[in-house]
Amino acid sequence: MRADHTVLINAVGGVVGSAALQIVKLHGACVIASASSYGKLDRAKALGADAVVNYSSRNLRGEVLDLTRGRGVDLVIESVGGDVLVHSIAAVCDNGRLVTCGAHAGETVPINIVELFRKHMTIHGAHLAGRREIAHVLALVAEGKLKPVIDSVHPLKDIQIAAAKTANREAFGKMVLVP
């Protein structure tokens, strides 16, 4: 990723999305953040998102192409799956990349393979970070350049409250349970 890139970060309210937004901004790139609620998009703007799209009420592909004047994004950080993944592929520019690390909205999606090779597009699956990546992120935290986004802290006895907040997709960032 370079400073002149535009990056789409889906599910910006999640742990991966909120961290990715900060890391992309540290590299000087433009961020289009997407989420399913306007409250999460407001939080993303406060974290530095340059533009936001509600993928529950707007056409993600169309909005991204409008925001990039038809070019598309250089990189997508995708952790939703389902239709959001399909629209994200369509929003990638020529020679662009998509990294997927989740599929809560659908694990099986139709992909137009012709679109992939015409764009010279790369799709990469990422399950876990390697030691080098973890060391880099921890160094950014230690330097104060990356701040973990903590939605809330709950005593362990309130685990049902935290679980309901997660199930209702109300959290932005990480929830912490303490003994």
Element spanning 33, H or E: strand 30-35
For residue 169, pLDDT beyond 90: no
pLDDT digits (tens, 9 = 90+) for 101-134: 987 777 888 888 888 899 999 999 888 888 998 9
pLDDT digits (tens, 9 = 90+) for 26-38: 999 999 999 999 9
Alpha carbon distance 163, 114 (integer Å): 41
pLDDT digits (tens, 9 = 90+) for 126-159: 888 889 989 988 999 999 999 999 999 999 999 9
Chain CA centroid to CA 68, Å: 17
Q: Which candidate, 12, 90, 88, 84, places its Cα nearest to that of 48? A: 12
Q: Which fold has domain 6-125?
A: Rossmann fold (3.40.50)
- Non-local (6+) Cβ contacts of 105 within 8 A are 80, 81, 82, 83, 84, 85
Whole-prediction pTM value? 0.91
Boundaries of every domain in the chain: 6-125, 150-179
